[in-house]
Chains A and B, each alone.
Chain A
């Protein structure tokens, strides 16, 4: 029995999304800075 399962999946998704989002933002800023 795992009452937090859905919440934990949600947390994982947002965690990965925020990591990818951060990486993408940094890359975009870098590209914009270079060009």
Chain B
């Protein structure tokens, strides 16, 4: 029977003969290794330090997607369309992604260092502590010699020292980096509020307001929305914030400015409420909103045509210009100033609410946009429909057009041959003072501060009452007012009620007599009327 003690395992299957006794030469080696151990540990810690620092730097670069060995974090893509509280834009780097990247950088950097440590430790272990049987040195029968253990320990000590040193330095530098990022973040946050404040101040200084011209909306626009010029995605609020300070990046990657003063007016603007187009370069120049109201056939549209044509002529005379600000106005103006239209009078305004007629005026006192909101007289015949005219909130000058023939007190003043044979019963049902009262009531319901609004009472069709005007000696606003509000027995129209209502409710009340009939040109009363309105808005031609 063969005992297990006498059996010899096959070579190369894990068998290791017992270590031979340590000889004198080995004692010398052990002694030398022990003496130089601390020096060698310090010396070798330098290359380890360089290796660690290098591994960490490469890790930082890789984590940030720099170089060939990329291991960058993939940021979360923005939603396709803006949801409430979310925009289809990339979050500005400093307002979120930077901290995720910092965390990623630290993770990747430490992982690289750990990989290096682990790899190096394996090599040290194989070289110094666990020499395999395939080594050529059989003096210790496949085991590491004691002095090699000491040398290996020195390596590990060097590695540990370098790791601790690098760790401390990186801890400090990461803290410094975090502070630097926090400072830049705080500065960016300040820049956000500063830029928004400056833009708001600029808009206030230039009295720039934006009004949506879309019927049914007519809203006052706090700030326009914009569509990305590349993929036409609507960005509701582009102002500086978490999606960008100076520029924002659409989900498609296209960058565009965040503020009007930074050039966002170059993009097509949209109303944030109804998402319909606003005027081209909305918010760049001051808008003067002129709501026009009055009963049917009061001559509102005729007055608008006369104003548009005359203001163009006046500005061109002064080497300025007055051009339609949008396609809608362009088409209307082309048609309105056509020979046929001028001779026959403009077509009747549609009973439904319409877009305003917008003109860009450029003169010696700068550039403005005049927006004239013309509503059909029928709208003013129904009090509830007056409430649809939200644009009235934006107007600082209201034009109240009155056809003198709709004033009952006016007809008796006329010679019998000039009196209307059969007054329109529909018109006679309502009188101008009722329209004014309803507009005022509507403005109160909308909490509009009427004391900041001027009212121009425009008595139209002056050509039909030329004789009465001459007899009454009317020429300026005060004399028109006296005639308009004066008693019948003194030749007045007895509209004191209307005047008192206007005077009580509005900041200022002006009176104008206009003749908007085209006779080879428009009457000089239109020029005076335009000058008065624009002067009231601080614009001189």
Contacts and interface: CB of A to CB of B under 8 A. Distances in A.
Partners in one complex: yes
A22 B66 contact: no
Contacts of A11: 64, 98, 101-102, 105, 181
Contacts of A5: 65
A30 B519 CA distance: 96
B79 to A, nearest CB: 15
A21 B175 CA distance: 12
Q: Place the interface of chain B in its size category.
A: 20 to 34
A2 B94 CA distance: 15
A9 B253 contact: no
B523 to A, nearest CB: 60
Contacts of B57: 16, 19
Contacts of A1: 253
Interface string B72-107: 100100000000000000100110011001100100
B226 to A, nearest CB: 18
B169 interface: yes
Contacts of B90: 3-4
A12 B66 contact: yes
A18 B60 contact: no
B65 A22 contact: no
A18 B173 contact: yes
A12 B64 contact: yes
A4 B93 contact: yes
Interface string B95-128: 0011001100100000000000000000000000
Contacts of A22: 169, 172-173, 176
B170 interface: yes
A23 interface: yes
Given A7-B97, A16-B57, 13 more contacts: A3-B249, A4-B75, A4-B90, A4-B93, A5-B65, A8-B66, A9-B64, A14-B180, A14-B181, A15-B105, A19-B169, A22-B169, A22-B172
A15 B109 CA distance: 12
Contacts of A16: 57, 60
Interface of A is mostly: helix
B465 to A, nearest CB: 68
Interface residue range, chain A: 10 to 19
Interface in B170-207: 170, 172-173, 176-177, 180-181
A16 B59 CA distance: 12
Residue from A3, A8, A14 whose CB has the most chain B CB atoms within 10 Å:
A3
A26 interface: yes
B136 to A, nearest CB: 42
B162 interface: no
A14 B253 CA distance: 25
Q: Which of A9, A15, A18, A21 has the most CB of B within 10 A?
A: A15
Nearest to A7: B93
Most chain A beta carbons < 10 A, residue from B93, B94, B172, B173: B173
B170 A3 contact: no
B179 to A, nearest CB: 9
Contacts of B450: none
- Taking each of B57, B64, B66, B170, which has the highest tally of chain A beta carbons within 10 Å of its own beta carbon? B64
A26 B66 contact: no
A18 B170 CA distance: 9
A20 B518 CA distance: 81
B363 to A, nearest CB: 43
A9 B67 CA distance: 11
A7 B173 contact: no
B271 interface: no
A7 B96 CA distance: 13
B292 interface: no
Contacts of B65: 2, 5, 8
Contact of B101 (A2, A8, A18): A8
B61 interface: yes
Contacts of B53: 19
B60 A12 contact: yes
26 contacts: A2-B65, A3-B75, A3-B249, A3-B253, A4-B93, A8-B93, A8-B101, A11-B64, A11-B98, A11-B101, A11-B102, A11-B105, A12-B61, A14-B177, A14-B181, A15-B60, A15-B105, A15-B173, A18-B177, A19-B53, A19-B57, A19-B177, A21-B176, A22-B169, A22-B173, A26-B172
A15 B180 CA distance: 9
